[in-house]
Chain A
Amino acid sequence: MMRRKRKTSEILLGAVTWFAAAVTIGLLLLLVGFILVRGVPHLKPSLFALHYNSDNVSLVPALISTIVIAIVSLVIAVPLGVFAAIYLAEYARRGNRAVAVIRMTTETLSGIPSIVYGLFGGLFFVVFLGWGYSVLAGAATLSIMILPLVMRSAEEALKSVPDTYREGSFGLGAGKLRTVLRIVLPSAVPGILAGVILAVGRIVGETAALIYTAGTVAQIPGSPMQSARTLSVHMYSLSSEGLHTDEGYATAVVLLVVVVLINALSARIAKRLGRRS
């Protein structure tokens, strides 16, 4: 009796999990397939012209702007996030009030919808500081948006470094700073990098926070104070204008390739770092 019952429930559970997995994969394939089918035929050379005009709707300036904005955002957010994490993980004493406050703040920040960051960035960087729609305002806004993510993953990475490394270093007469910079931080790099890659993913996929800060100019920015649009914003513009839907799908194919490349690259880096340590 018992055995029979267990068997039926096992089969049932197996079927449910199989079904869930099949639906998930099926949806993913459907989505990717749909974009490829709609987009690939429209991948014309003119889409890759160096300069944008409303005829060729080239995506190259947007691709370059994406890279520039991602780099500037990371240059602002990664050092800040990592050093804040070092303070939290290595220097703050247990039960410190400031730590509780910082932690609550970052948790709250990471739950805020990106449009709110966009509105804040628009009011503060664009209007109040007078930067105008610009790469700098966009990147500054995004760096605030990804800061909690970077900080959190860096803190986790630092905390997962075994205490025996710290003891070994102190036991040789190394001070706190040297121990943190030479022993703890290098061991935490793979974990920190994992957070950075997630952050890059959010930057590449972001639109709402950029429209009010970096603007939507579709040319290669000549300076950080000029407006620029990332690939995602570019796609949003194309599809909302409704004149270049096909090119929009072709752009989506390129965005997809970019995301896959980022993932492959990060897997590669993680593997190399893993092997080294």
Chain B
Amino acid sequence: MNCFEIKGLNLYYDKFHALKNIDLELESGKITAFIGPSGCGKSTLLKTLNRMNDLVEGCRITGDVRLFGEDIYDDTDVNLLRRRVGMVFQKPNPFPMSIFDNVAYGPRTHGIKSRFELGEIVESSLRAAAIWDEVKDRLKKPALSLSGGQQQRLCIARALAVSPEVLLMDEPTSALDPISTGKIEELLLTLREKYSIIIVTHNMQQATRISDSTAFFLLGEVIEYDSTETVFAMPRDQRTEDYITGRFG
């Protein structure tokens, strides 16, 4: 089954044509990696999947994006869409409030008020993000007192707390040290069973370590999309090969 089906997607920032005729089918319950040189539109495509581009003035989108068959640019409730399609950003961005309140923010947004229920959600989300043991004794402490790697896992917990179906991650480890990166990669492999994950990465090894499929982008176009093994072992396109072997700018 596919979580996202994208057909004939074009995106413009004012006059600039940032995404060109994208056709992609992203499988659910898998990890899909987006790779490609800086500025090729990976983040832009990711943000069309939960309509974060709505916030950008002058951004125009044509084409068809479906989440489990529903057109998300039809008259969908954007807030509901973003609950179903969570996002983790490049730089960890916990809110300046306590660890507990960070994770509880999403559930509270969607109407959960009971302290008991919130406590359960916070604990299970922090456990799922493999950070519970590190923070269970200081849930009332400010989230900004955590280390960078912990902050990013907290942001993952925060995203999981609203029970999304898909997780979008935009270079979630690029600001982290190798040990924190390793922890997050392990975590993603455990999350794959329950969530569909789409991850942008600059790191080829990361793509091969964790992803099932890989899409290679260049100048706003999808050049190649296949199982990760195929893309890295026998790329069909010369440009893909150049990129993954590091012969590219």
Contact = CB atoms under 8 A, between A and B. Distances in A.
B142 A172 contact: no
Interface string B66-102: 0000000000000111110011010101111100000
A89 interface: no
Nearest to B57: A94
Interface stretch (B17-25, B115-123, B155-163, B179-187): B155-163
Interface residues of A, number: 21
A12 B96 CA distance: 47
Interface in A131-177: 162, 164-165, 167-175
B162 A164 contact: no
Interface in A181-239: 182-183, 186-187
A97 interface: no
A182 to B, nearest CB: 7
A93 B57 contact: yes
A172 B89 contact: no
B55 interface: yes
Contacts of B110: 173
A179 to B, nearest CB: 9
B37 interface: no
Contacts of A187: 96
Size bracket, chain B contacts: 20 to 34
B83 A172 contact: yes
B142 A276 contact: yes
Contacts of A178: 109
Contacts, number: 65
Contact of B142 (A165, A170, A277): A277
A105 to B, nearest CB: 25
B29 interface: no
Interface string B17-52: 000000000000000000000000000000000101
B82 A171 contact: yes
Given A167-B52, A277-B96, A277-B142, A175 B79 contact: yes
Contacts of A164: 89, 91, 93
Given A165-B95, A277-B144, A182 B105 contact: yes
Given A164-B89, A171-B52, A172-B82, 16 more contacts: A94-B57, A164-B91, A165-B93, A167-B55, A171-B89, A172-B86, A172-B106, A172-B162, A173-B79, A173-B81, A173-B106, A173-B110, A174-B105, A174-B109, A182-B105, A277-B142
Give the 5 A-B CB pairs with smallest separation, nearest first: A173-B83, A164-B93, A277-B96, A171-B87, A173-B82
